[in-house]
Amino acid sequence: MNRTTLSLIAAATALAAVTGFAVVSAPDGATTTTAADARTPARMPVERSSLLCPAPSSSDLAETAYTSFTPAGKGGADAKAGSAELVPTDATLAAADDGKDKKKDKDRAAGKGASKPVLSLKEPGKPVTAEANTAEAPALVGSADGLLAPGWTAQQSTKVTAGQGRGLLGVSCTPPDTSFWFPGASTADDRLDYVHLTNPDDTAAVADIQLYGKDGVLESDAGEGITVPARSSVPVLLSTLSADRAENVTVHVTTRTGRVGAVVQAVDEEGGSDWLPASAEASGSAVLPGIPADATSVRLVVFAPGEEDADLKVRLAGPTGTITPAGHENLHVKAGMSMAVDLADVTKGEAGSLFLSPAAQDSPTPVVAALRVVRGKGAAEEVAYIPATGQVGDRATVADNRAKGSVLSLTAPGEAAEVKVTASAGSGGGEPVVKTYKVAAGTTLAVTKPPVPSGLKGAYALTVEPQSGGPVHASRSLELPEDGVPMFTVQTMPDDRGTVSVPEAEQDLSVLDD
């Protein structure tokens, strides 16, 4: 192995340690490149991906569907076939035996699944599904490698038809990380919001949870030093972390040691429930795509994590262009304080997306943001959440689409764009279908009838790939009405991180020194 290969592997290993998500390695026979090549880092398919799914629901009426999928075509010429499995956390497995099975203990210590996988994907391009109709359905941890790693995604969709937590709760299973921001949570008396912390590793993680209301930090010591045992999941009720009650809260999850997957389960005792995923990394601008046309109430929650206040412009991108919501042209967000803005029925019967941008381009202040969206009225209300999300990038995928009920939202904040949308084969049969869509600059295109595989049986995945033009942001709304309640959930579609930039390395004898 030459020095270039050694340096490249070292760089890739450092990258994997930082992201906690993707692993790459140098191909056999790698050689030193020219100075011109070094200016453009190569992009390589990831060789391993990790995903974590929270425990779905404690309701006896919960019906959960899981879908796992990897798009075809990004595995690299030399990639092995690979595997992609989601297995129950060890906390669940431990309850199923008496702790005397030494082989299981040894397997867990080696990071091997000690139980039959809930989902096991065998090939790219075709999803697999599973169901769990029980209140005891566990959190899942999993990894994919080889051809199944680039762009691997999994969706967890839970329908609760009555009682506390009634609603459609959908979440794209998340990679582990060390920091998460959740604007839009609550510790109000009519809310039961939990943050689920899932540890995929073989050593315990220690996490801190900090809450911020409209006046700043909600004082509490209970959120410090929360231990998440190895390969287990811990739900934490937010209202137990502070005596203060706040209707609109921003939650910050960080880890002192290890890494976790984190997502908030937001439960309104009267108005439904859904998962609140983390906002995109704090930035001077934010895009929140896919507000349904029939939204009856929209609430924006914004938080400035730094030490400076943020001044923002607010625009709504509809099917024909952008407008400024009346009375909310500009927002002044004080540092360290959650700001909530009720936008009412801002879409006025047309699907849209919200754009936040700095009022002064020369001094952007990073913010995180999320929308709480309500459909229906009175006893038929249902809620979903749309966090700020990154652009589609090279490719983005969302799993668990049905023959009816999926709405794909595409928005172009700057230049016009053209995108290719691929409907995968179905989990039980059907052939892929591809369509191309044009998105005008500053608009939102709501595809109410996205492509469906020909001869579809089961569930399928939608993959979005920009072809030309400016950045595109996307989300998918899944609508499954029940007894007059417009149950729905929204999943944003950031870049799937199926490839990573591999920094070019120089020959350097010092890497061999002690």
Q: Which residue has the higher pLDDT, 33 or 261?
A: 261
Helix (H/G/I), strand (E/B), else coil: 112: coil
Residue type, 57: S
Asked if the model's pLDDT at residue 5 lies above 60, the reply is no
pLDDT at res. 508? 61
Mean pLDDT of 447-453: 97
Reply yes or no on domain 47-276 having CATH 2.60.290.11.
yes
- Exposed, middle or buried: residue 39 (CB in 10 Å: 0-12, 13-18, 19+)? exposed
pLDDT digits (tens, 9 = 90+) for 126-181: 999 999 998 999 999 999 999 999 999 999 999 999 988 899 999 999 999 999 99
Judged against a pLDDT cut of 70, whether residue 509 lies above it is answered with no
Task: Give the Cβ contact number of residue 346 at 10 Å.
Answer: 24
Instruction: Tell me the pTM.
Output: 0.87
**Tokens read off for 284:** 């001077």
Q: Tell me the average pLDDT across 459-480.
A: 98
Taking residues 190-213, what's their average pLDDT? 97
pLDDT of residue 28 exceeding 80, the answer is no
For residues 265 and 31, give the distance between their C-alpha atoms in angstroms, rounded to a whole number.
49
pLDDT of residue 507: 62
Residue 439 scores a pLDDT above 80: yes
pLDDT bin (cut points 50, 70, 90) of residue 506 is: low
Domain segments of the chain as ranges? 3-44+501-512, 47-276, 286-497
By residue count, the chain amounts to 514
Closest CA to 130 of 138, 122, 118, 141: 118
SS3 480: coil
Burial class (CB in 10 A: 0-12, 13-18, 19+), 134: middle
pLDDT of residue 42: 78
pLDDT at 510 over 90: no
pLDDT confidence band for 294 (50 / 70 / 90): very high
- In terms of DSSP H, where are the helices of 50-200? 90-94, 102-109
C-alpha–C-alpha distance, residues 192 and 184, integer Å: 13
Q: What is the average pLDDT score of the chain? A: 87
Residue-level pLDDT at 334: 97
Q: Is 484 helix (H, G, I), strand (E, B) or coil?
A: coil
Query: Residue 230's pLDDT is what?
Result: 96
